[in-house]
Amino acid sequence: MPVAPHIAAVMSSKMSSVIRKMFEEGGVLKKKYGPDAVFDFSLGNPDLETPPEVEAAISRIAGEKTRGCHGYMPNAGYDEARAQMARKVGREQGVTLEGSHVVMTCGAAAALTCVLKAVLSPGDEVLANAPFFPEYAHYTANHGGALRVVPPALDFSLNIPGIQAALSAKTAAVIINSPNNPSGRVYGKAELEALAGVLTAHRKKTGRWVLLIADEPYRDIVYENRTVQAIFPLYDCSVVVSSFAKNLSIPGERVGYIAANPAMGDAPQFVAACIFANRILGFVNAPAFFQRVAAASWDCAVDYSPYTTRRNAIMAVMRDAGYQFAVPEGAFYLFCRVPASTRDGAAKSAGEGIDLAFCDHLKEHLVLCAPASGFGCQGWFRIAYCVPQSTIENCGASFKKAKETW
């Protein structure tokens, strides 16, 4: 069966789904060497137990015999689910939302895809500040747009001058992700105010609104009592996309949402476009069962302290092994710099692709990590520490040996 040339090219590229490839290779290595011998930090698959309130909601709703409970509903989702998500986002953003501002989706990925479908015309650009989630490029290209990457700031904060320089008449949207995957950075109020000012000035100059998209699946997972800054009070033309994959540990259930800023000009038309996109992209509606589960249990208390424990443990391991890294402020990733080579030949190859080479080198020591070239940051790699504590406690010797032999 013929495959479109551009899809074939993307599929065969070195960076295509590099994280998933690492994850799949981990399965092969575990079968060969045993699961305890392989240290798999490749995939951000949350492993905390699903909260009891969620389990209770699952049991209760599964036992209901309401006629038609598995049928279609409006493409935007159940009214009650939309209303509950409006309560949730309204609390986080400090503004009043109605259910009419919300669209239920098949996870945050579908939410972002629907938003981009709603706003992109062929040739439009979307800006992403590196490091960024690699799938942003594919989600943008799906709708005829192009992702324009803004180089990272030294501390992985928002590169405001870089964003300002990258803005053009083609810019349709800017995506931010805080807490950030992969750096763990939580963007502060001052930098987000600066971003809002730059986008407002751009609108006055060009006459075009730029949509600010906040991708927030890690919002609740923060350290040292940090909070994630609300964007709705700072910039009217903004939208939140999120899910319950990370905070409630249900990534496979694919339930998320789009929440539009009520202050956005013609917000009803934007929401209607997202609902239309939800239908014509083939999602049709978010899963019926887990819309009801999310509506009933989104406000439950969750203990994220195991992630704090693991964060501190993996930092100690990597510090002892001699690696440099960015201290995570949120999410569950440690972003590490590829160490200087101990061999002349490898040292000469430092630069583009060095993180890919180092992650291949780590595999030789049965350690699986994600190279950062796919995140827009060459020379770094990502450790996903949402893994058993024993994996962290036992990986130190392998990381040390990898560095010594690099």
The answer to the question of residue 61 being in a domain is: no
CATH number at residue 395: 3.90.1150.10
Domain identity same for 134 and 269:
yes
322 CB-near residues (< 8 Å, 6+ apart): 339, 400, 403
278 or 9, which is more confident: 278
**Inter-residue contact 41 to 156 (CB < 8 Å):** no
User: Is there a cis peptide before residue 371, judged by omega within 30 degrees of 0?
Assistant: no
- Are 254 and 327 within one domain? no
The answer on 86 and 33 residing in a single domain is no
> Of the residues 274, 297, 320, which one is the last residue of a structural domain?
297
Are both 320 and 292 inside the same structural domain?
no
Last residue of a domain, one of 297, 318, 349: 297
Residue 290: which residues within 8 A CB-CB, separation 6 or more? 250, 253, 254, 255
pLDDT surpasses 90 at 108: yes
pTM of the shown model: 0.94
Choosing from 280, 297, 314, the residue where a domain stops is 297
Residue 356 lies in a domain: yes
Give yes or no for residue 268 having a pLDDT over 50.
yes
Task: Count Cβ atoms below 10 Å from residue 149 Cβ, excluding itself.
Answer: 19
pLDDT surpasses 80 at 41: yes
Residue pLDDT, tens place only, 363-380? 999 999 999 999 999 999
Question: CATH number, domain at 101?
Answer: 3.40.640.10
Instruction: For residues 114 and 226, state if they share a domain.
Output: yes
Report the pLDDT averaged over residues 18-44. 76
Q: Which residue has the higher pLDDT, 353 or 198?
A: 198
Q: State the pLDDT at residue 347.
A: 43
The verdict on 311 and 225 lying in the same domain is: no
Q: What is the pLDDT of residues 54-98, one digit of tens each?
A: 999 999 999 988 888 889 999 999 999 999 999 999 999 999 999
User: What was the pLDDT predicted at 7?
Assistant: 76
Distance linking the first and last C-alpha atoms of the chain: 43
| pLDDT tens per residue, range 139-172 | 999 999 999 999 999 999 999 999 999 999 999 9
Is 199 a residue whose pLDDT tops 50?
Answer: yes
Q: What is the pLDDT of residue 16?
A: 58
Nearest-angstrom CA–CA distance, 108 and 197: 27
Number of residues written out for the chain: 406
What's the mean pLDDT in 377-385? Answer: 96
Q: Is 56 inside a domain boundary?
A: no
Does any domain span residue 58? no
Residues 158 and 35 both lie in one domain: no
Containing structural domain, residue 390: 5-50+304-404
Q: What is the pLDDT of residue 21?
A: 67
